[in-house]
Amino acid sequence: MTLLSVREASKHFGALRAVNEVSFDLEPGEICGLVGPNGSGKTTLVNVITGVLSPTGGSVGIAGVESSQLRSHAIARLGVSRTFQLIRLLRFSSVRENVRMGLLPVPSKLPLRSWVQPAALGADRRRRSALVDEAIERLDLEHVSSRLVRELPFGLERRVELARALVSKPQLLILDEPAAGVTAADMRDLNRIIQEESSRGCGVLLVDHNLRFVLDTCPRLVVMNFGQLIYDGTSAAAVDEPRVREAYVGT
Amino acid sequence: MAGFTPTAIELILLNAVGVFSVYIVLSGGLFAFAFVVFMGIGAYAAAILASHGHSSMLVQALTGIGIAAVSAMLLFLMVARLRGIYLGIVTVGLTAIFGALINNFPHLTGGPLGLPGVSLNVHLPALIAAVGFLCVVFAAIQHSKLGRRVKLLRTDPLVAGTLGVNVRLLSGGLFVASSVVAAFAGCLQAHYLGFVSPDSFNFTTLILFLEMAVIGGVSHWAGPIVGALVVTMIPQWLQSFQILSPVVSGAILLLTILFLPEGIVGGVLVLGRSAVIALRGEPRNGGVGTRTETR
């Protein structure tokens, strides 16, 4: 089944057509780059997909569920995780506490009667705790897990946000500029994690304007300019596409 | 310590119950200041029922809480779209409207003179029990999944939504829960003082309770108690310099906002944490590991 299906989605702010009749699909396990110059509507499109903004027109489907009228919390519960262009963490909370927030969309699946069974509650708590440990370990954050986020350097904050997005084992992961301002070593780790998520069957939509990084990471590329989709195809062919060159380099 | 007479302690606890209602909305980042209205509803429900011969405190409390909860729900349906300062303005306006209403329906509310005749049956043990109960409840909530949702709602509603928090439902829940606690506080106050008067439910009351909530802090369940303690005790401590007491209150509020934005309790916890790190001899930002990069 198609994981993400965007059909002629539009988001207009008055006369400004931030996203204009964009259509594309994403399959499970697929890694797709979403690129475009500043102001081309990438983040608005991400906000429409994740329910932060409701579309002015068109439809969005996630794993077969029509989601364009759902609010963001309902979309999160469908298994959609995202990171933000400007890091949004709880700065006065510990790294571990922040990562644990990522489990909020995951229902505990406990039958009601287990509320009086300490054993079942304990098992559930241990299972969640193990998930948090796993995410922290995957992003090499063990040594800072009890630190407050505000005490961390920028590169580590990005890792914490990624751990928070991964801890729920999403089926669709949307990364908004994850490579902005991070080191080459961090980018290699990011690339590795994206590939791992993909082989687990998670669809990844990677928004960035670092074209080099996107080309290295994503076999497929979707390019936007002035709110419209101007290219959808392989990354390799994208650089030779005149419209993409024009949007990026100018005429 | 000087000044902690039994009456002062009773007053602190009485105020603390009210501050919990402010704490509930502020802990979710909602600038909803209608708590004075709901306190008034709780107090006047008790006094009006008492004047009609219904002397059971339980009946009075449940009536007040019921009316407050239902009106809070209806009110929230109307103001649910408002955020931040706009919600604040509307709810402050409601406080003014409520004051005008109770002053102008004297056959029901006694008007500006207030209503006497509420039985004087709330004393120290009842107040300790009430505050203790609220502490247990909010301490448990703070460390639960619900507490984490509330914290996320306060810090960043947008992220809260993308992490599965139903922002509208949780905001509404906090609003109604706050009205329930406020009505309970109002009922306790009526039974502690033996009468109700419009002067207890005006803009000054709003500012006083808001001050207590902010000074104590809304990031920890102990905040309301510390806030109630400090603000209630300032006039007691400054008995010989009464004229200074509003100045000192204002200064403490200002210093809290400037230097302890999480309130006294939240601030002490953060400072304590830094002290522990310093005592262990760890550098504040070093030890963060091999992957330290600069911004």
Distance between B56 CA and the closest CA of chain A, angstroms: 35
Q: Which residues in chain A show pLDDT less than 50? A: none
A115 CB near a chain B CB, below 8 Å? no
DSSP B282: -
Distance between B175 CA and the closest CA of chain A, angstroms: 19
A154 CB near a chain B CB, below 8 Å? yes
pLDDT in tens, B37-57: 999 999 999 999 999 988 899
Q: Is A76's CB within 8 Å of B159's CB?
A: no
Contacts of A82 in chain B (CB under 8 A): 162
Spacing of C-alpha B60 from chain mean position: 21
Do strands A4-13 and A228-234 pair parallel, antiparallel, or not at all (unpaired)?
Answer: unpaired
List the single residue in A92, A153, A156 with the smallest CB-CB distance to B262: A92
Q: Is A153's CB within 8 Å of B156's CB?
A: no
Residue A49 has a pLDDT of 95
Q: What is the set of domains in chain B, with CATH numbers?
A: 6-280 (1.10.3470)
Q: How confident is the model at residue B284 (pLDDT cuts 50, 70, 90)?
A: low
The Cα–Cα gap between B120 and B46 comes to 12
Please list the alpha-helical segments (H only) found in B80-166: 84-104, 106-109, 124-142, 145-155, 157-162
Residue B286 has a pLDDT of 47
Q: What sign has the CA pseudo-torsion B82, B83, B86, B89? A: positive
Contacts of A98 in chain B (CB under 8 A): none
Those residues whose C-beta lies under 8 Å from the C-beta of residue B79, and which sit 6 or more positions away, are B32, B87, B90, B91
Residue A1 has a pLDDT of 80
The Cα–Cα gap between B42 and B65 comes to 6
The Cα–Cα gap between A1 and A61 comes to 11
Q: How confident is the model at residue B293 (pLDDT cuts 50, 70, 90)?
A: very low
ipTM of the complex, rounded to two decimals:
0.88
**Which tokens in the block code for residue B103?**
């002053």
A63 three-class SS: coil
Do strands A57-62 and A4-13 pair parallel, antiparallel, or not at all (unpaired)?
Answer: antiparallel
Distances (CA, A) of A39 to A19, A124, A205, A247, B225: 10, 44, 18, 12, 49
DSSP A55: -
pLDDT at B295 over 60: no
The Cα–Cα gap between A155 and A81 comes to 20
The Cα–Cα gap between B50 and B59 comes to 10
The Cα–Cα gap between A22 and A6 comes to 7
Unique residue bearing structure tokens 């007040």 = B64
If you average pLDDT over residues B24-29, what whole number do you get?
95
Closest residue in B to A174 (Cα) is B162
pLDDT at B287 over 70: no
pLDDT in tens, B163-217: 999 999 999 999 999 999 999 999 999 999 999 999 999 999 999 999 999 999 9
pTM of the prediction?
0.89
Q: Is A182's CB within 8 Å of B164's CB?
A: no
Do strands A220-225 and A228-234 pair parallel, antiparallel, or not at all (unpaired)?
Answer: antiparallel
The Cα–Cα gap between A219 and A216 comes to 8
If you average pLDDT over residues B236-256, what whole number do you get?
86
pLDDT in tens, B258-269: 988 889 998 888
Distance between B292 CA and the closest CA of chain A, angstroms: 6
